[in-house]
Chain A
Amino acid sequence: MGGTFGILFSAALVSNVILAKFLGLCSFLGVSKSFKNSFGMSAAVTFVMMLATAASYGIYYAFLVPTHLEYLKTLVFILAIATLVQLVEMFMRKNTPALHKAMGVYLPLITTNCAILGVALLNVTLNYDFIDSMVNALGTSLGYTVAILLFSCIRERMDETQLPPCLRVLPIALITASCMSIALMGLGGIH
């Protein structure tokens, strides 16, 4: 495969953002207790990741590269993402109250979701052009959505089972994630 489609496939499945790259785990483990919350969270992550990728790409190539300030990228990107999330929240509260109700509570949490900053940084480190960066962001958020939705279904079932006390909640969640990660390794040869 290769090329742009390769980036999409690899970001969504082979090197899945959560199960292979370990980005965004806090929200993955925290929110995945119910399917409904997982759905809201993944919608919010997809939305912010696309916006943040576009914004950070613009800032990096329009301001940081011409002024040779590339080393400030971590600082500038995190501020850009934090500002963006704040603006989106304000805009949503005013104009789309229904959407704000569904996604609003997850938005502030996203500022510290390392997947967003991670993808923005990886895109400029790997020298992706604009299209490839956006495709990478789309693939990554697809991978996030797939992983968290499947995982929340498993966890909802798991609540009803009898487990040794020391395995309850987090340890068994991590062991389940390990099994999902093994399943994705089967796709490893394709890219």
Chain B
Amino acid sequence: MLHELTKGIIKENPLFVQLLGTCPALATTSSFANAIGMGAAFTFVLLGSNIVISAIRKFVPDQVHIPCYIVVIASFVTILEMIMNAYVPALYAALGVFVPLIVVNCIVLGRAEAFCHDHGIVDSILDAIGMGIGYTIALASIAFVREILGSGKILGFTLMPASFTPILIFILPAGAFITMGFVFAFVNHMRAKGEAK
């Protein structure tokens, strides 16, 4: 049982291992706070859609299951948009079009197809929480590198010595690609080392 929860964090991490959901991972990681916000928003949608889809999976005819799943996911995204607009308008504005685009995030539909389709509600809840935490950690680690190099601060606290000149490019689009490239290379390196042992 616990395995369903922990697998998403390292062994089947949605971003680093399954290579899904790369668009938001580049776009929303220019600051640590935005990355955590995106991770939380994503977890909310995944949790909601996993619960509903695992509950209705037996009533949905097989030929139309993908459109049905998309409707469920899109409904949760719409709810999320309203909640964010009402309570965290600044974060909602910062994430912009990437909040509605959770609909087409391959991880959400991927979990529905690969996991909820033949698992019960409890397992699906654990799976959603695990995947959500795994994705949030992945976003946060990319954002941590980018923000610390790009501005020298994390969440408003200055961490670098005064002599450090912020490397502006790291919070621009080009910095997103290069940071993610090196983070992926590091993950590959660690996995190759782990397998060699």
Instruction: Give A contacts to B, CB under 8 Å.
Output: 19-26, 29, 71-75, 78-79, 82, 111-114, 117-118, 121-122, 125, 165-168, 170-175, 177-179, 181-182, 185
Contact = CB atoms under 8 A, between A and B. Distances in A.
Interface of B: 19-20, 22-24, 26-27, 67, 70-71, 74-75, 77-78, 81-82, 97, 100-101, 103-106, 109, 169, 172-178, 180-182, 184-186, 188-189, 192
With most chain B CB atoms within 10 A of its CB, the pick from A23, A26, A168, A174 is A174
A19 B78 contact: no
Majority SS at the chain B contact face: helix
A153 B109 CA distance: 31
A118 B19 CA distance: 21
A181 B174 contact: yes
Nearest to B105: A114
Given A75-B71, A79-B71, A114-B104, A177 B177 contact: yes
Contacts, number: 115
B100 A26 contact: no
A179 B174 CA distance: 7
B17 to A, nearest CB: 12
Contacts of B75: 75
Majority SS at the chain A contact face: helix
Nearest to A173: B181
A170 B19 contact: yes
With most chain A CB atoms within 10 A of its CB, the pick from B23, B75, B188 is B23
B135 to A, nearest CB: 15
A82 B82 CA distance: 24
Contacts of B189: 166
Contacts of A168: 188
Given A71-B78, A78-B103, A121-B100, A174 B23 contact: no
A26 B23 contact: yes
8 contacts: A75-B78, A78-B104, A117-B101, A167-B188, A170-B181, A175-B182, A178-B178, A182-B174
Contacts of A82: 67, 70
